[in-house]
Amino acid sequence: MEATLKRSIRRLDPGTASRIAAGEVIDRPLSALKEVLENALDAGARAIEVRVDGTLDRRFSVSDDGAGIDPEELELALERHATSKLVALEDLDRLATLGFRGEALPSIAAVSRLRITTRPPGAESASFIAAEAGAVRERGNSGRAPGTTVEVADLFFNTPARRKFLSSATGELRAALRMMEAYALAFPEVALRMVVDGRERFEWPAVRDLSDPVAAARERAAALWGASFAGQLLTAQGERDGIRVVALLGLPEHARATRDGQVILVNRRWVQSPLLGQALRQAYGNLLPGARYPSATLWLSVPSDRLDVNVHPTKREVRFATEDSVFSLVAASCAKPLATVEPPFTVVRGGGPEPQWADRVREGSEHQTRLGLELVPGRGDAAARALEGSATGTGAAATPAADESAREPELWQLHRMYILAPVRGGLIIVDQHAAHERILYEEARTRLAAEQGASQQLLFPALVDLSRDQYELLAELTPWLRQLGWEVAPLGPPTVVVQGIPDQLKHERPGQLLQDMLDGMGESGGGDVGADIVERLARSYACHAATRAGDVLTQTEMRTLVNRLFGTSRPHGDPHGRVTFVRLDLEELHKRFGRG
């Protein structure tokens, strides 16, 4: 403490200072790609190609056919706060470019090996500059058609601490594909192509006719997601006080467990906006259950003097001068086309048939962990008997199996969330969702480790339209999914057919379950990013396939669930470390009631 207080103030050396500053702008490999792509768009490119070697942090390049950089200005482009897009602060109010701070290239240069090759349309030849950790290493002439190529290699090679916090490389690449989709939607007039390890991942041609923004949006959407999926999207449009909104809205069944299906574009910027996310959600009203996010793309155009884009280092957030009116415009415009849509399923379960999953669940395991938690046998009022036994001074609760005809004790479901089970010496309260999650998780781990899981054929195979990132992920996961007992076959992107699901699993909407599981694997799905792929799959499967709070359980289902929970290796917690049950001892009850 003392020592810290006494330290004197010193200026950081420029290298350290710029690496710290770089960390704010380039917080992950995706941000580097985003900045370089934005520069190409700002340069007026008509065609952009992104190439990735291995992973984003190993090497990527972005080539454009835009305005290029004059050779005399190449060094300047690598200097902090050097920009061709903004002269004075007032310009921010009429900003038409994505960049404005002159921070991206120097920030990337500070933490990578960077090379820029560029040729303005009028120039005789191209020139290049190469930098490493921010210092210029090489300059010269080279050959190139008009335009610019920016290559970024070995990102974060000189900031090992940052490297450690990087999310998985494949996750980052999927996020990159999602980002490319977002910019493709924001700039339909630009042709985009992406190549990963020599393999073309997509090529989206430029949309020629931009006279009708909705038609242009639909054309781009069809290129991105396939004509059949794009054809199902609803259109919304609205305008008020100079603010305009266009939206393509997914049907309720396209909704997802995360926000990954949402693209929000404000003045052609790809942003995150809780405000607009909520406006969208409000528009869907009770077409969706609470925990689901609509899939939708929003194009918002706001007079630039009423929009603050300078809120966040990565420019992913914006602030509106009039939040209320933006919210109501978006919510009202999007609600209109949705008014005619029928809900795909009832949101609140209202006395319909009870869920049957537990009928398919194996009855009690031979290897049950006992933990002194055997259910107390009784005649339907086990708790009362347990108390009696104790009250009359026998100490422990009712004698097990004293009565030949003793049935299993009755269990109670509390608020459709908890199972109350009398046990020797007290009561356990089981969280039905967490318990089922633990059971499914262990089953999944076993199947993924060795044992090929059996599957049950669906009577009616389910057709599912996946998003691009879900589709990519599915392709990656296919062997493991098969191991779990899933039978999924591709039917041409973005559609797949679910033919079989793991045996013993009862699920009304297998397609939805598949999508939720895929979403749950991603960064935003909550799963621990550091966990390996098998672990994440097991967790996501368990989380989404498990019975929910709110599901009504029968006696048999409750009993099976409790028995199976204590057949697992770690019945005390679910895979996320949350408690699955709590125990209430009679001793404690006695104390509370003053029985000493």
| Residue closest to ligand ADP, measured at CB | 99
Residue 294 interacting partner from Mg ion, ligand ADP, none (CB closer than 5 to 8 Å by kind): none
Contact 422, 382 (CB under 8 A): yes
Q: In what order do the strands lie in the sheet with 199-204?
A: 135-142, 126-132, 113-119, 147-153, 59-64, 47-53, 191-196, 199-204
Query: Cβ of residue 81: shortest distance to Mg ion, in angstroms?
Result: 12
Residue 84 or 282: which CB sits closer to Mg ion?
Answer: 84
Residue 91 or 476: which CB sits closer to ligand ADP?
Answer: 91
Contact 48, 41 (CB under 8 A): yes
CB neighbour burial string for 450-459, b if at least 16 within 10 angstroms, e if fewer: eeebebeebe
Q: What's the CA gap between 383 and 410, in Å, rounded?
A: 9
Q: Work out whether the CA dihedral 98, 103, 107, 108 comes out positive or negative.
A: positive
Residue 186 interacting partner from ligand ADP, Mg ion, none (CB closer than 5 to 8 Å by kind): none
Residue 85 or 336: which CB sits closer to ligand ADP?
Answer: 85
- Decide the pairing of beta strands 262-266 and 296-301: parallel
Residue 271 or 537: which CB sits closer to Mg ion?
Answer: 271
Residue 68 interacting partner from Mg ion, ligand ADP, none (CB closer than 5 to 8 Å by kind): ligand ADP
Query: Cβ of residue 32: shortest distance to Mg ion, in angstroms?
Result: 11
Structure token pair of residue 262: 């949402």
Residue 101 interacting partner from ligand ADP, Mg ion, none (CB closer than 5 to 8 Å by kind): ligand ADP
Residue 157 interacting partner from Mg ion, ligand ADP, none (CB closer than 5 to 8 Å by kind): none
Query: Cβ of residue 254: shortest distance to ligand ADP, in angstroms?
Result: 35
Residue 118 or 568: which CB sits closer to ligand ADP?
Answer: 118
Residue 71 interacting partner from Mg ion, ligand ADP, none (CB closer than 5 to 8 Å by kind): none
Query: Cβ of residue 173: shortest distance to ligand ADP, in angstroms?
Result: 22
DSSP class of residue 394 equals I
Residue 238 interacting partner from Mg ion, ligand ADP, none (CB closer than 5 to 8 Å by kind): none
Q: What's the CA gap between 508 and 179, in Å, rounded?
A: 33
Residue 472 interacting partner from ligand ADP, Mg ion, none (CB closer than 5 to 8 Å by kind): none
Taking the mean position of all CA atoms in its chain, how far away is CA 469? Answer: 10
Q: Which residues bind Mg ion (CB under 5 A)?
A: 39, 99, 104
Residue 39 or 580: which CB sits closer to Mg ion?
Answer: 39
Query: Cβ of residue 54: shortest distance to ligand ADP, in angstroms?
Result: 23
CB neighbour burial string for 63-90, b if at least 16 within 10 angstroms, e if fewer: bbbbbbbbbeebeebbebeebbebeeee
Query: Cβ of residue 340: shortest distance to Mg ion, in angstroms?
Result: 43
Residue 373 interacting partner from Mg ion, ligand ADP, none (CB closer than 5 to 8 Å by kind): none
Residue 182 or 329: which CB sits closer to Mg ion?
Answer: 182
Q: Which residues bind ligand ADP (CB under 6 A)?
A: 35, 39-40, 42-43, 64, 66-69, 77, 83-85, 99-105, 148
Query: Cβ of residue 31: shortest distance to ligand ADP, in angstroms?
Result: 12
Residue 38 or 431: which CB sits closer to ligand ADP?
Answer: 38
Q: What's the CA gap between 284 and 93, in Å, rounded?
A: 33
Query: Cβ of residue 98: shortest distance to Mg ion, in angstroms?
Result: 7
DSSP class of residue 333 equals H
Q: Is 325 exposed, middle or buried (0-12, 13-18, 19+ CB in 10 A)?
A: middle
Contact 542, 274 (CB under 8 A): no
Structure token pair of residue 372: 């002194």
Q: What three-state secondary structure class fits 101?
A: coil
Query: Cβ of residue 105: shortest distance to ligand ADP, in angstroms?
Result: 3
